[in-house]
Chains A and B, each alone.
Chain A
Amino acid sequence: GAVVSQHPSRVICKSGTSVKIECRSLDFQATTMFWYRQFPKKSLMLMATSNEGSKATYEQGVEKDKFLINHASLTLSTLTVTSAHPEDSSFYICSATSGLAGGNEQFFGPGTRLTVL
């Protein structure tokens, strides 16, 4: 149980275009979803936290208008990178928690590699 999927796994786009990444909890209802960014050989950097039906809470330094997060249902959250530029190229990981697992355990998706040309 507790499977989280992400789509797409890889995406290549041109500079100036927008890209949407989906994160789904497949077998549980996710009260909270998280979006991380990870640079090579570095730890996960939290970008934002989203709760179903409410606005996302962004971490300091993360541009809200560039990284649009929508958590429309208890099983789906989306991250849209607007007007992407090469510096947005990175590995993006989502996670979800049901609030029921001990320690608010987060279940992670497999990640999406974004390359902006």
Chain B
Amino acid sequence: AQTVTQSQPEMSVQEAETVTLSCTYDTSESDYYLFWYKQPPSRQMILVIRQEAYKQQNATENRFSVNFQKAAKSFSLKISDSQLGDAAMYFCAYPGTYKYIFGTGTRLKVLA
């Protein structure tokens, strides 16, 4: 069965510091995507970053990068130079054949 696990219900980071959110998943597929979504207090889901499994290079989007380890089925999100606007719920998602499999989310607090 396809599963996504986020083991950190809540994380805190000092402004301008770096934080890493963890995500592990399980699938028998060899070619797939993985996504990180951000849900700020407005509750609009925003795609932060995506990774294609066949690409060995880790995806980066400005201050956001991932550490993708396919063999370990790990897909962590690193946020550098954290800003107050980064405070949100973060969801890891695996797009299954017919539907997304979401993790339970990590609430990120950014401390001024």
Give residues in A with beta carbon < 8 Å to B: 34, 38, 41-44, 46, 49, 91, 93, 95, 102-106, 108, 110-111
CA distance A102 to B43 in the complex (A): 24
* Contact call A43/B95, Cβ cutoff below 8 A: no
Q: Which residue of A lies closest to B9 (CB)?
A: A41
* Contact call B52/A103, Cβ cutoff below 8 A: yes
How many whole Å from B95's CB to the nearest CB in chain A? 5
List of A residues within 8 angstroms of B91 by Cβ:
43-44
Convert B62-105 into 0s and 1s, putting 1 for each residue whose CB lies closer than 8 angstroms to a CB of A: 00000000000000000000000000010100010011101111
How many residues from B make CB contacts under 8 Å with A?
Answer: 22
Given contacts A103-B52, A103-B95, A105-B50, contact A43 B44 (CB under 8 A): no
How many whole Å from A64's CB to the nearest CB in chain B? 17
* Contact call A103/B99, Cβ cutoff below 8 A: no
Convert B42-63 into 0s and 1s, putting 1 for each residue whose CB lies closer than 8 angstroms to a CB of A: 1111010010100000000000
Give residues in B with beta carbon < 8 Å to A: 32-35, 42-45, 47, 50, 52, 89, 91, 95, 98-100, 102-105, 107
Grouping DSSP codes into helix (H, G, I), strand (E, B) and loop, the B interface class, with mixed when no group exceeds half, is strand
* Contact call B45/A93, Cβ cutoff below 8 A: yes
How many whole Å from A8's CB to the nearest CB in chain B? 14
- Interface-central residue, B34, B50, B100, by most chain A CB under 10 Å: B100
Given contacts A49-B98, A104-B95, A110-B42, 20 further A-B contacts (CB under 8 A): A34-B99, A34-B100, A41-B89, A43-B102, A43-B103, A44-B45, A44-B100, A44-B102, A46-B99, A95-B45, A102-B33, A102-B52, A103-B52, A103-B95, A105-B50, A105-B95, A106-B95, A108-B45, A110-B43, A110-B44
Number of A-B contacts (CB under 8 A): 50
List of A residues within 8 angstroms of B95 by Cβ:
103-106
How many whole Å from B44's CB to the nearest CB in chain A? 5
Given contacts A105-B47, A111-B44, contact A49 B104 (CB under 8 A): no
- Interface-central residue, A93, A106, A110, A111, by most chain B CB under 10 Å: A106
